[in-house]
């Protein structure tokens, strides 16, 4: 009969493809039991909507079944709440991921995207809410056919409405449809603060905040006063929208909020009769912008008449027409969003310190001075060989794909960029630029004498 040590050793071969660590060191294995060759345990996922949960389960089952004496393997997938990374937040203690859905300009389908992503995440098993922070032009109530006013609980908190399993709160639920909201910025921002702190959101895996377009007071209030996991930028393919979207990114970069990805909406129209795709607003601009800005590309959503019909009917397209091209694209984008949120959260959890200075240290290496006083040293080639991207490391086995012989001895960083508030990215002289090095990972990779000695002792 296998021992617990045998099972844990086998499970160390199972790598989370996004976090690039094995599921044992990540603390995912819970409630391990062994009885007469029958092995049972739970895999505690970062989110119920984890896009690779089936792969993790299959890999874990395969490795444990291969152990001598194992007669059966029973694996449960769970997702228990985790402590928030970063400074403790006095608001939203039960919300695991607070994600802003933003755009540089109106008319790009941001609210439609927020509603569809929310439903897709919920259908994947997550608990989800939407906060409609566009107090001047709220549209989330229409998209979910929500008209009744929210109730108050015993703590004098507003109780969100629920539609399709999604918790909803919006200024549109508190005013008459024909009544315009004529408020100056400070009053509008105060209402957003109340929506965050005076609403009984309960326990949620994701709370999506549908921001108004642009970069005004409401956006600034959110990024400065709320524990954001990150932001999603929605754009359309044409240059004018992409240019505004790029400028809109600035508010998040200046406040160290990670950009979880970019979505290109209205990306081509496929004729239902001849299946020819027409790029009405051009095509591919969002993907190109994401590459240029070194951001994850969450997906391209086509123009689809079903999306319009669904919005008017008060039922997001993922519910109303689940087989439509738009619904399928939104589900893909939601999976990528869940992946990026998990990566960002893990990076924040690891980042006990942040770089204060990043600079070359001679022709073959660099140094990072951290805000806790530690000075890390790295050789460029060692950093390049440690790249964690999917091209360099197998997503599911964790095995190295990168052939060290293919990396020049004189490889060096041409440019260093910051990814949100949790990671660095390097553009290498050999042309590679897709690796995201979390601050926690960089501390582990430190080659200074003290860290090398500590690693040797640990081994």
HEC letters along 387-410: CCCCCCECCCCCCECCCHHHCCCC
Looking at residue 363, which CATH number applies to its domain? 3.30.2020.30
pLDDT, position 425: 87
Whether residue 292 sits in one domain with residue 148: yes
Average pLDDT over residues 294-310: 86
- Candidate from 77-81, 239-243, 385-389 with smallest mean pLDDT: 239-243
What CATH number is given to the structural domain containing 23?
3.30.300.130
**Where is average pLDDT lowest: 8-22, 211-225, 325-339?**
211-225
Task: State pLDDT tens for residues 34-43.
Answer: 998 999 999 9
Residue 55 in this model has a pLDDT that exceeds 70: yes
Indicate the pLDDT class of residue 72, thresholds 50, 70 and 90: very high
83 lies in a domain? no
- Closest residue by Cα to residue 227 from 347, 79, 90, 101: 90
Q: Same domain, yes or no, for 117 and 261?
A: yes
Question: Is the distance from CB of 439 to CB of 422 less than 8 angstroms?
Answer: yes
363 and 443 co-located in one domain:
yes
Both 332 and 244 in a single domain? Answer: yes
CATH number where 251 lies: 3.40.50.300
Taking the CA atoms of residue 179, residue 183, residue 187 and residue 188 in that order, the dihedral angle to the nearest 10 degrees is 70
Instruction: Provide the number of structural domains found in the chain.
Output: 3
- The pLDDT-based confidence of 182 (bands split at 50, 70, 90) is very low
What was the pLDDT predicted at 20?
Answer: 76
Does pLDDT of 192 surpass 80? no
Query: Does residue 85 lie within any of the structural domains?
Result: no
pLDDT at 219 over 70: no
Q: What average pLDDT does the chain have?
A: 82
Confidence label for 60 from pLDDT (cuts 50, 70 and 90): very high
Q: What is the pLDDT of residue 248?
A: 62
**Has residue 245 got a pLDDT over 80?**
no
The pLDDT confidence band at residue 121, using thresholds 50, 70 and 90, is very high
More confident residue, 70 or 27: 70
Same domain, 71 and 205: no
Residue 249 in any domain: the answer is yes
Quote the tokens at residue 410: 């004189």
Average pLDDT over residues 106-123: 91
Q: Name the strand (E) or helix (H) holding 132.
A: strand 128-132
**Boundary-marking domain end, from 350, 372, 396:** 350
Q: How far apart are CA 335 and CA 207, in angstroms?
A: 15
Residues 128 and 272 in one domain: yes
Residue 133's nearest CA partner among 101, 97, 165, 92 is 101
The pLDDT of 335-341, averaged and rounded, is 91
Q: Which residues contact 204 (CB under 8 A, 6 or more apart)?
A: 94, 95, 96, 127, 128, 129, 167
Given a cut of 70, is residue 395 above it in pLDDT?
no
Segment 379-397 mean pLDDT: 82
Residues 434 and 344 in one domain: no
294: left (phi over 0), alpha (psi -120 to 50) or beta: left
Find the domain containing 254 and state its range: 95-350
Residue with tokens 């844990």: 8
Domain boundary among the residues 350, 376, 395 is at 350
- pLDDT beyond 60 at 186: no
DSSP class of residue 385 equals H
Do 228 and 304 share a structural domain?
A: yes
In 343-441 the beta strands, taken as DSSP E runs, fall at: 355-360, 365-370, 375-379, 413-419, 423-428, 436-438
Beta carbons within 10 angstroms of residue 308's beta carbon: 13
The C-alpha atoms of residue 170 and residue 399 are separated, in whole angstroms, by 47
Instruction: Identify the three-state secondary structure at position 16.
Output: strand
Q: Which of 31-35, 65-69, 214-218, 436-440 comes out lowest in average pLDDT?
A: 214-218
Q: Which of 350, 382, 400 is the last residue of a domain?
A: 350
Distance CA 142, CA 214 (A): 22
- Give residue 408's Cα distance to chain centre: 33
181 or 237, which is more confident: 237
CA distance between the termini of the chain: 28
What are 122-158's pLDDT values in tens digits? 999 999 999 988 876 788 988 998 888 889 898 888 8
Neighbours of 37 (CB within 10 A): 14
More confident of the two residues 335 and 271: 335
Looking at the structure, tell me whether residues 318 and 433 fall in a common domain. Answer: no
Question: Is residue 225 very low, low, confident or very high in pLDDT (cuts 50, 70, 90)?
Answer: low
Looking at the predicted structure, is the pLDDT value of residue 73 above 90? Answer: yes
In a domain, 148, yes or no: yes
Residues in the chain: 459
> 30 and 111: one domain?
no
Is 174 domain-assigned?
yes
Q: What is the DSSP letter of 39?
A: E
291 and 245 housed in the same domain: yes
* pLDDT attached to residue 87: 40
Tell whether 106 and 73 lie within a shared domain: no
């Amino acid at each position: 009969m296998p021992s617990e040590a045998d099972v844990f050793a086998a499970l160390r071969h199972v790598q989370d493809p996004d976090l690039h660590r094995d599921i044992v060191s990540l603390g995912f294995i819970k409630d391990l039991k062994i009885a007469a060759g029958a092995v049972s345990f739970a895999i505690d996922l970062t989110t119920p909507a984890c896009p690779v949960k089936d792969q993790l389960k299959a890999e874990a089952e395969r490795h444990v079944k291969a152990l001598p004496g194992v007669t059966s393997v029973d694996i449960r997938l769970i997702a228990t709440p985790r402590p928030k990374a970063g400074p403790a937040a006095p608001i939203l203690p039960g919300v695991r991921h607070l994600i802003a859905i933003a755009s540089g300009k109106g008319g790009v389908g941001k609210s439609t995207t927020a509603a569809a992503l929310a439903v897709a995440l919920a259908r994947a098993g997550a608990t989800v809410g939407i906060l409609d922070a566009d107090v001047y032009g709220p549209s989330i109530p229409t998209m979910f056919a929500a008209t009744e006013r929210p109730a108050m609980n015993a703590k004098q908190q507003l109780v969100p409405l629920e539609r399709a399993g999604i918790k909803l709160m919006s200024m549109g639920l508190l005013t008459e449809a024909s009544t315009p909201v004529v408020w100056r910025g400070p009053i509008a921002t105060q209402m957003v603060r109340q929506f965050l702190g005076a609403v009984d959101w309960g326990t949620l895996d994701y709370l999506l905040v549908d921001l108004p377009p642009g970069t005004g007071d409401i956006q600034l209030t959110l990024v400065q006063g709320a524990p954001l996991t990150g932001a999603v930028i929605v754009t359309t393919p044409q240059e004018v929208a992409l240019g505004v979207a790029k400028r809109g990114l600035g508010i998040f970069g200046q406040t160290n909020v990670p950009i979880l990805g970019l979505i290109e909406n209205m990306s081509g129209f496929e004729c239902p009769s001849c299946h020819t795709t027409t790029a009405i607003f051009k095509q591919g601009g969002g993907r190109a912008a994401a590459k240029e800005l070194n951001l994850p590309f969450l997906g391209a959503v086509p123009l689809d008449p079903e999306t319009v019909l669904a919005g008017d009917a008060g039922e997001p397209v993922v519910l109303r027409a689940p087989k439509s091209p738009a619904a399928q694209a939104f589900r893909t984008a939601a999976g990528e969003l869940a992946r990026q949120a998990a990566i960002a959260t893990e990076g924040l959890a690891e980042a006990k310190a942040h770089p204060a200075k990043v600079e070359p240290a001679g022709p073959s290496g660099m140094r990072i001075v951290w805000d806790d006083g530690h000075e890390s040293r790295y050789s460029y080639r060692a950093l390049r060989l440690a790249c964690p991207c999917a091209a360099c490391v197998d997503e599911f086995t964790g095995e190295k794909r990168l052939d060290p012989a293919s990396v020049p001895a004189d490889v060096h960083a041409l440019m260093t960029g910051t990814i949100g508030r949790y990671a660095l990215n390097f553009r290498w002289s050999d042309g590679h630029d897709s690796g995201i090095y979390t601050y926690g990972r960089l501390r582990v990779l430190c080659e200074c004498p003290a860290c090398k000695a500590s690693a040797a002792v640990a081994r």
